[in-house]
Chain A
Amino acid sequence: MKDYIRKYKNWLMLSIFVAATVIALVPLFGVLGYVLKNGLGALNMQFFTNLPKAMGLSGGGMANAIVGTLIMVLIASLIGIPVGILAGIYLTEYDRHSWFSTAVRFATDVLTGIPSIIVGIVIYTAVVLKMGNFSALAGGLALAIIMIPLIIRSTEEMLKLVSHSIREAGYALGISKGKTILKIVLPTAAKGIITGAMLAIARVSGETAPLLFTALGNQYWARSLNEPIASLPVQIFQYATSPYKEWHQLAWAGSLVLILLIIIINLAARFAFRSRHS
């Protein structure tokens, strides 16, 4: 009799877990499916090669927005990845317990939770107003600020996973602390650190709010990094809120491309760094 109740309870709990998992998957596949359904129709070669057409005209593409997103994500990565990884190394390897590192860690956690639009406003005030114009640099900088705390945290977590005995083994061989970190600890954690960086790239690729006040957007090619520049998320936002049906179509296509971009980065993060010795 007792067994019967136990098995029933087990069945019940298992059903609840399965149900929760299915519920979690519904919006994911819902969004993917909906974007695929609406976006595939509008996606063609023109989308990748042409500039946007004037208001209300059909055709045209988002070539400038795709390139703009790539440029700003590149700028953000060039700033955010080195700063984030080096700060993460400092916090785990050189200064784990002081008030300074505790404060930095706390600030990092707060920064991770700050709505990205606030980063946009800050860069607008601090950079755009000072330089007198919207620019790819300002946009890239805003994205870098969102990336840095993510990368610091992931780098820290990955380095903490490297057992202390590995570091001691390095010291015990007469290897200096710097070389132990560079040649032994970092390679051990490399896979995780790179995955963390890739996920941070994926995360900022879709950011819209911080770009509204910094990169602004552009219907044409930007001629330099010091000019307003188009980006996929902002372009999608502007097209989706316009009254034109053709532009709605393009916004769907843009969404699909953005999602594909993020999926590709995620997959790359997963497969990029397989260990050399299997």
Chain B
Amino acid sequence: MGQTLSVRKLEAWYGPNKTLKGINMEIEANHVTAIIGPSGCGKSTFVRCINRMHETLPGTKVIGEIILDGESIYDQDPVALRKTVGMVFQKPNPFPSMSIFENVVAGVRLNGQRNKQNLQAIAERSLRMAALWDEVKDRLNYSGISLSGGQQQRLCIARALAVEPEILLMDEPASALDPIATTHIEELIRQLRDNYTILIVTHNMQQAARIADSTAFFLNGELVEHGATSEIFTNPKDKRTEDYITGRFG
């Protein structure tokens, strides 16, 4: 099941630039929450803080708290945390040296699962959840990079699901894909909502409107407005949100 996240006074720096300026946000379990906002508003940094990926880059700094299941993520071991908080990146990034099968089970296998039958079962279950099983079941030992872009992205989603996270972060997962592949990914996100808490960064406001239960609008490192998606798009409270969604800037 998904978990609730509470973000409190989160501030993040990238070098001398303060990219997040005190974010307070509650993220509901088993909801799809979309993060929208213009380029450079801090939305990628925000999701990368949640699995503590931001701090792996040189010259970065984070203060504030993110509470997951009653515990601050900054009190946890980042490697362990990332098994609970999975992530899918903007560009599909399957491991080039691995087959489709090896890609899917990489997370569990490199963390100690050696039983062949278990791995097979995990691979099939994850690929089915990512709606990729039927397309690849006959060529699981082909290279992961032999797939098309949309299939590669679903492979990356399957790979993230195989670790059985509770929260799934998606950083513009469909922005490098064609419309058909995008539709596949969006359907997938809708199905995954029952079992995961999903946070999706998107540039595409129609996409946010289609798939998200709630939407947060970021601007210049601040959370301007966060509410039910229908509210944000039909009746925004903040003038800046209205300007952004009506296309007056950004």
Does any Cβ of A come within 8 Å of B193's Cβ? no
A97, A163, A176: the one within 8 Å of B79 (CB):
A176
A253-278: contact bitstring with B at CB < 8 Å (1 yes, 0 no)? 00000000000000000000001111
Q: Could you say which residues of chain A place their CB within 8 Å of the CB of B80?
A: 174
Q: Is the CB of A183 within 8 A of B110?
A: yes
Comparing B67-75, B91-99, B199-207, the segment that makes contact with chain A is: B91-99
Q: Is the CB of A179 within 8 A of B110?
A: yes
Q: Is the CB of A275 within 8 A of B97?
A: yes
Q: Is the CB of B142 within 8 A of A174?
A: no
Q: Is the CB of A172 within 8 A of B51?
A: yes
Per the bound structure, the CA–CA distance linking A188 and B79 in Å amounts to 22
Total A-B residue contacts, Cβ distance less than 8 Å: 78
A contact residues vs B (CB 8 Å cutoff): 97, 163, 165-166, 168-176, 179, 183-184, 187-188, 190, 275-278
Q: Is the CB of B93 within 8 A of A277?
A: no
Q: Could you say which residues of chain B place their CB within 8 Å of the CB of A163?
A: 93
Q: Is the CB of B95 within 8 A of A188?
A: yes
Per the bound structure, the CA–CA distance linking A100 and B97 in Å amounts to 31
Does any Cβ of A come within 8 Å of B106's Cβ? yes
Per the bound structure, the CA–CA distance linking A171 and B55 in Å amounts to 12
Q: Is the CB of A168 within 8 A of B111?
A: no
Interface centre among A183, A188, A278 (most CB of B within 10 A): A183
Q: Is the CB of A175 within 8 A of B97?
A: no
**Number of B residues, CB within 8 Å of A:** 32
- If A174-B79, A175-B107, A188-B95 are given as contacts, then 12 extra A-B residue pairs at C-beta distance below 8 Å, sorted by A number, are A169-B89, A171-B53, A172-B82, A172-B160, A173-B86, A174-B80, A174-B82, A174-B111, A175-B110, A175-B111, A184-B106, A277-B143
Q: Could you say which residues of chain B place their CB within 8 Å of the CB of A277?
A: 99, 141-143, 146
Q: Could you say which residues of chain A place their CB within 8 Å of the CB of B27?
A: none
Q: Could you say which residues of chain B place their CB within 8 Å of the CB of A97?
A: 58
Per the bound structure, the CA–CA distance linking A276 and B97 in Å amounts to 8
Per the bound structure, the CA–CA distance linking A170 and B160 in Å amounts to 10
Does any Cβ of A come within 8 Å of B31's Cβ? no
B89, B97, B141: the one within 8 Å of A165 (CB):
B89
Minimal beta-carbon separation of B138 from chain A (angstroms): 15
Does any Cβ of A come within 8 Å of B159's Cβ? yes
Minimal beta-carbon separation of B58 from chain A (angstroms): 7
Does any Cβ of A come within 8 Å of B29's Cβ? no
Per the bound structure, the CA–CA distance linking A220 and B107 in Å amounts to 57
Q: Could you say which residues of chain B place their CB within 8 Å of the CB of A278?
A: 143
Q: Is the CB of A184 within 8 A of B111?
A: no
Q: Could you say which residues of chain B place their CB within 8 Å of the CB of A184?
A: 95, 97-98, 106, 110
Does any Cβ of A come within 8 Å of B127's Cβ? no
Q: Could you say which residues of chain A place their CB within 8 Å of the CB of B81?
A: 174
Q: Is the CB of A172 within 8 A of B143?
A: no
Residue of A with least CB distance to B90: A165
Does any Cβ of A come within 8 Å of B156's Cβ? yes
Per the bound structure, the CA–CA distance linking A163 and B145 in Å amounts to 14
Residue of A with least CB distance to B84: A174
Minimal beta-carbon separation of A62 from chain B (angstroms): 42
Q: Is the CB of A190 within 8 A of B86?
A: no
Minimal beta-carbon separation of A267 from chain B (angstroms): 23
Q: Is the CB of A175 within 8 A of B91?
A: no
> Given known contacts A97-B58, A169-B156, is B83 in contact with A174 (CB within 8 Å)?
yes
Q: Is the CB of B111 within 8 A of A169?
A: no
Does any Cβ of A come within 8 Å of B56's Cβ? yes
Q: Could you say which residues of chain B place their CB within 8 Å of the CB of A169?
A: 89, 93-95, 156, 159
Per the bound structure, the CA–CA distance linking A55 and B86 in Å amounts to 75
Does any Cβ of A come within 8 Å of B35's Cβ? no
Q: Is the CB of B93 within 8 A of A174?
A: no
Residue of A with least CB distance to B89: A165
Q: Is the CB of A168 within 8 A of B99?
A: no
Q: Could you say which residues of chain A place their CB within 8 Å of the CB of B160?
A: 172-173
Does any Cβ of A come within 8 Å of B163's Cβ? yes
